[in-house]
A and B are shown apart, each in its own frame.
Chain A
């Protein structure tokens, strides 16, 4: 039985979560596009961003601020996490990846997995830190409640659908970011440099493009988007934990591959698709099978359409 009301509601939830996944997926796709590395640590950078947001929220006592103060607070968390995650991602590239540019892809990937584990452990330490902002603080590994400072009301009054300020926030943050990013990649000097490096790093460096700095900037921007995503994720879903990076990372990577890795609109399309598939599966199948379904999508896409829905059909170079 397909109840239209339930279906639409799941669609809204799916689209909101999908936008968040898309924002993370852009981080994967940008880095992959430029140095062909699956940045394993990206999901964990996202996770640390959520912890920073929670710490900011608790340390400044934002829960007690008035409605207008909380708008300011959300903006503060968004900027704080974005700068933090961007900086963290940039440092990972500087410390762990840059020296390996000339090594095999396998070494680079292994280094990224190492970074992912280090970040995950930092999240564990962070979650166990003796701070009064962490509810469920007895165990470091337990998921933490993220205070719902966004009012949980229905903007449509008593209508049959429910759209919360949380849904609006997701779209209000993600859409301008995506538009801005597209503009940056298409129109600005840095964007042109990024595309040049992605196409051929050696030729780009011969044209006077500082390749390492452009790659660093890509990592920063990708990480910053993950930071934005972490704040809206936390405000939307209200629970964070040190292991959430792996799951979010797998979803986002699946989204990036689904849309065609290296393609920005592809990442958005993939994210929205995965978000909707997840919420539909939660509703019409069983929650416990959702991850399995997402994985099956990943495998099927990779087998039948490895370039994704919007990806280019460039073959691997000899």
Chain B
């Protein structure tokens, strides 16, 4: 059989070539920095996709694990704390830390029914923000932990000016995540997740250890989200304030997964492009354009594109579920059914 490039390959290849396009575009139109955000949320949503897409457990608090990763990265690296690790070891450590946090939340709650679990994760997302804000002795409250290190290659540390280096770093880490998740999907564990999603009782009678398998999905998602959090803290050189990891972020990740195609890696990549593109490219550029042309005003709530965010997310979810329940790029298993 001749090898044909799959959708994942095509998307990643296009993303790798994007900086070439930036070279010819005028500075105002350049996309690399914004697309870096797409990569970041794609990693986060790939994590969510493991728990919600593969294992069928709705997690509404994925941003909390992102926050845990970001703060873990901050505490491990910032000079005001005793650890002072470098970028790479700290980023690597966010993965087990995130997995552990997922384990702590998941172990007692995964026996719950799906919709109860959703509420627990939603509440967890709110509480992590509260705790981070209130434990200001450790977390610096709303100031966030900063400054945080960037990776070093060849002696000198990167700065915000090294746009293309950051771009390819994010890109490379996204590729790594895609391959890791793809291999998981096709492993024995991945099959077990699908099986649980389709029918828990049947899976149990086939000898799958349901609780343990669910817990691994939960912890894997948390680990990937924490990894994304560490990465975002590094590029911003700060953890930012706790409310940067609020329910909106969890919903953005959920939108990516639902709109793109629940359980489909290529779908998540496309979903990230569409949703984050809307959120941080179209809306931001529209705001800037309207301000430049004197249309936007602080006084009129309708004329600020940022105020339409919730409506767009909400409608995206409602319409996606109604019209394209399998998303823009359905997973292979659904394509095979049709």
Contact = CB atoms under 8 A, between A and B. Distances in A.
Q: Do A and B assemble together?
A: yes
Contact of B321 (A114, A119, A138, A246): A114
B133 A288 contact: yes
B129 to A, nearest CB: 9
Contacts of A129: 301
A301 to B, nearest CB: 10
B7 interface: no
Nearest to A250: B123
Contact of B115 (A38, A96, A246): A38
Contact of B134 (A121, A125, A289): A289
Interface stretch (A65-73, A97-105, A205-213): A97-105
A115 interface: yes
A250 B122 CA distance: 9
B212 interface: no
Contact of A109 (B58, B201, B301, B322): B58
**For the complex, would chain B's binding face be called helix, strand, loop or mixed by DSSP majority?**
helix
**For the complex, would chain A's binding face be called helix, strand, loop or mixed by DSSP majority?**
helix
Contact of A117 (B120, B122, B124, B310): B310
A113 B301 CA distance: 23
Contacts of A100: 321-322
B159 interface: no
Contacts of B247: 246
Contacts of B309: 121
Interface stretch (A145-153, A218-226, A292-300): A292-300
Interface string B104-119: 0000110111111011
A125 B301 contact: yes
A267 B277 CA distance: 42
Contacts of A318: 201
Nearest to A298: B123
Could you say which interface size class chain A belongs to? 35 or more
B152 interface: no
Interface stretch (B77-85, B177-185, B312-320): B312-320
Interface string B273-310: 00000000000000000000000001111100001111
A128 B109 contact: no
Contacts, number: 131
A310 interface: no
B115 A114 contact: no
Contacts of B308: 121
Interface string A252-292: 01100100000000000000000000000000000011011
Given A128-B307, A129-B301, A291 B114 contact: no
A114 to B, nearest CB: 3
A65 to B, nearest CB: 29
A141 to B, nearest CB: 8
A120 interface: yes
A137 B185 CA distance: 51
A302 B126 contact: no
A186 B133 CA distance: 47
B307 A114 contact: no
A99 B258 CA distance: 17
A179 to B, nearest CB: 29
B31 interface: no
B110 to A, nearest CB: 10
B254 interface: yes
Nearest to A286: B134
B314 A115 contact: yes
A130 interface: yes
Contacts of B118: 38, 109
A28 to B, nearest CB: 10
Contacts of A109: 58, 114-115, 118
B130 interface: yes
23 contacts: A38-B115, A38-B118, A103-B325, A107-B325, A109-B118, A110-B58, A110-B254, A113-B254, A114-B314, A114-B315, A114-B316, A117-B251, A117-B311, A117-B314, A121-B314, A124-B301, A127-B301, A140-B301, A250-B123, A254-B123, A288-B134, A303-B111, A318-B201
Given A105-B115, A127-B301, A298-B119, 8 more contacts: A113-B251, A114-B316, A119-B314, A122-B311, A125-B302, A257-B116, A288-B133, A302-B120
